[in-house]
Structure 1
Amino acid sequence: MHIQIVLFDGFDLLDAIAPYEVFTAAAMYSNEEVTVKLVSAEGKRLVTSGVNHLQIQASEKLDLSRKGIILIPGASGSVHDNGSYSVPVKLQQATETELSHLLKEAMMKPDILLATVCGGSCILAMDGLLEGRHAVTHHMGMDLLSATGAIPVNARVVDDGNLITGGGVTSGLDVALYLVERELGPQIAHAIEQLFEHERRGTIWKAEGNVPKESKHENTVEATRQPSTIQSNEIWDFQGKWDTIISTPIGKLSVLIDLSTNDGQIVGTAKQGEEIVSLDNPFLEGNQLKWSMKVTKPMRLTLKFSVSIDGNQMIGEVKAGMLPSSKLIGHRLT
């Protein structure tokens, strides 16, 4: 069994090193050859972690010709601001490197098992690689999985066939132990637990067995919200074409928003470049207009908008899961 743990600038140390130790211990207990490498998308280099900028040596380039396991850690940084040291920005930056192309190729290879710890699944999600797949990440990033079309599962470890994902930072131990059990057997995994004096915790969810009946109590307010009907005495004027700019952590996006009514219902479209998408369920809440919509650029996301109007000016914010809120400003064209 060959394991490659991928390091990228800003990676979380525990996400990577805890599995590294588990797999190294597996090599001691197994009659099967087990090798584990710390690699990077660029090749042999010192990789700066997100924990006090500690540098760890990646010994070689991620090799997709080697069958086995590829494990992607999450990032470490601030979760309370939108700056360059924040976790969402570091995860996004990882998708803008050669790692993005390598992971897309790895997902297509039948002899490669892809695993993630914490925000590692968000890297895959931001690249549109988890659409329709069951996955978990840190609890603060679960709504980002939804925004990218993944199916979030509240479990410690989620087994979706050739994709294994883990929850928050310490789940790296449980992900690695589960992989050892799956690939080498429960006795070896148990021996490692005893060695580390660690008892695995949380639920391991698998995409198999009978599907439970949907509970009516699980319906969210947003899912059951009815489209807003505009009353004749409402004077809040949002209709028209709006030229807007969304200031995201990865640059400014120009979006043309067209708002109108049809039989008393709010309707609209948004155009970014040549792509035109419909606004999903626009509704009024106080003096704000809110809606969601799916986009494919700069990544596949479901964005949630909240805007207000002052004359011919529009101002608001755009949110996608754990990604930092982006400011929106615009003016009416017609």
Structure 2
Amino acid sequence: MPASAPVPAQVVLFDGFDPLDVVGIYEVLHAGALVGAPIAPELVSGEGPRTVVSGTPGITLEAGAALDPDRPGYVVVPGAVGPVESADDDADTIPVLLARFAQSAAMPLVRRALDNPDVTVATVCGGSVALALAGLLEGRTAVTNAMGNDLLEATGVRVADARVVDDGDLLSAGGVTSGLDLGLYVLEREAGPRVARSVESIFEFERRGTVWADLGLEPRPL
């Protein structure tokens, strides 16, 4: 049988992004492709090809194309990095960076991706906060870094107590290192557990916790 065409995974860069949010899941998906998974990660931005400055001094990445919400596959939205709060009103704190991203050219494209039944949007860490600030997650179930879960709830998001949350066409992961867990879950969805386990072995990393999904019995309170 002919090999399946690779599923694109467009990882969205924005000014102030967290490099580990991006590189963690990107490398997991790339390693999956090396061992046979039909998936192809790529770096994009809402503005098209450009050099994108991260929130970590000295680290930039190149977006090779504009985010295309009409391409079937995955759109991965990372969070930001910086101080959580500052006495300087003009400081690029994480909340400021995420709010700026929520108002950027990328967000209408992410909205279209969420409306596309052939696209799954996946967020890492503060990526879900940016989408929530843009009004895209009301009524959905998601998670973010533990420091941002109250903000998610304030925007009408149901926060699940899990490291990775599967809400159908919306996947989300908690703090920054959970991007590795999210990438492995995507590999399992696309290529099965043997490929995901192979990449776990390559990275010497094991996924943590059970992926939350709105399935099965409702647990009784103890």
TM-score where L is the length of structure 2: 0.93
> What SS is found at the alignment partner of 2:199?
helix
Q: Deviations over 1:131-156 (max 9, x none)?
A: 11110000000000110000011210
Aligned twin of 2:168:
161
Which residue identity does 2:41 align to in structure 1?
V
Residue ranges of structure 2 left out of the alignment (5+ in a row): 1-6
Aligned twin of 1:40:
45
Among 62, 66, 73, the alignment partner of 1:61 is: 66
CA contact (8 A) 2:19 2:56 kept: yes
C-alpha RMSD of the superposition: 1.3
Which residue identity does 1:52 align to in structure 2?
P
Equivalence map 1:185-204=2 (5 Å): 185-204=192-211
Quick check: 1:121 aligned with 2:128? yes
Which residue identity does 2:70 align to in structure 1?
S
> What SS is found at the alignment partner of 1:115?
strand
CA contact (8 A) 1:50 1:76 kept: yes
CA contact (8 A) 1:132 1:149 kept: yes
Which stretch of structure 1 is more off in the superposition, 195-204 or 139-148?
195-204
Aligned twin of 1:134:
141
Among 104, 121, 126, the alignment partner of 1:97 is: 104
Aligned twin of 1:284:
none
Which residue identity does 1:71 align to in structure 2?
V
Q: Deviations over 1:251-295 (max 9, x none)?
A: xxxxxxxxxxxxxxxxxxxxxxxxxxxxxxxxxxxxxxxxxxxxx
CA contact (8 A) 1:84 1:90 kept: no
Aligned twin of 2:4:
none
Percentage of matched positions with identical amino acids: 48
Which residue identity does 1:73 align to in structure 2?
P
Which stretch of structure 1 is more off in the superposition, 79-88 or 96-105?
79-88
Equivalence map 1:246-265=2 (5 Å): none
Structure ID, larger Rg: 1
Distance 1:205 1:96 in 2: 29
Distance 1:83 1:33 in 2: 44
Aligned twin of 2:19:
13
Greater fraction of residues in strand: 1
Q: CA deviation at 1:65?
A: 2.4
> What SS is found at the alignment partner of 2:83?
coil
Distance 2:78 2:101 in 1: 11
Distance 1:212 1:53 in 2: 48
Distance 1:183 1:163 in 2: 15
Q: CA deviation at 1:212?
A: 3.0
Equivalence map 1:288-327=2 (5 Å): none
Q: How many residues align?
A: 214
> What SS is found at the alignment partner of 2:139?
coil
CA contact (8 A) 1:37 1:59 kept: yes
Greater fraction of residues in helix: 2
Q: Deviations over 1:279-326 (max 9, x none)?
A: xxxxxxxxxxxxxxxxxxxxxxxxxxxxxxxxxxxxxxxxxxxxxxxx
Aligned twin of 1:80:
85
Q: CA deviation at 1:183?
A: 1.4
Residue ranges of structure 1 left out of the alignment (5+ in a row): 216-334
Distance 2:58 2:140 in 1: 33
Q: CA deviation at 1:83?
A: 4.3
Distance 2:221 2:41 in 1: 42
Distance 1:138 1:97 in 2: 22
Q: Deviations over 1:209-234 (max 9, x none)?
A: 1223467xxxxxxxxxxxxxxxxxxx
> What SS is found at the alignment partner of 2:149?
helix
> What SS is found at the alignment partner of 2:147?
helix
Larger RCO: Structure 1 or Structure 2 (Cα < 8 Å, ≥ 6 residues apart)? 2
Q: CA deviation at 1:202?
A: 2.5
CA contact (8 A) 1:160 1:207 kept: yes
Distance 1:69 1:169 in 2: 19
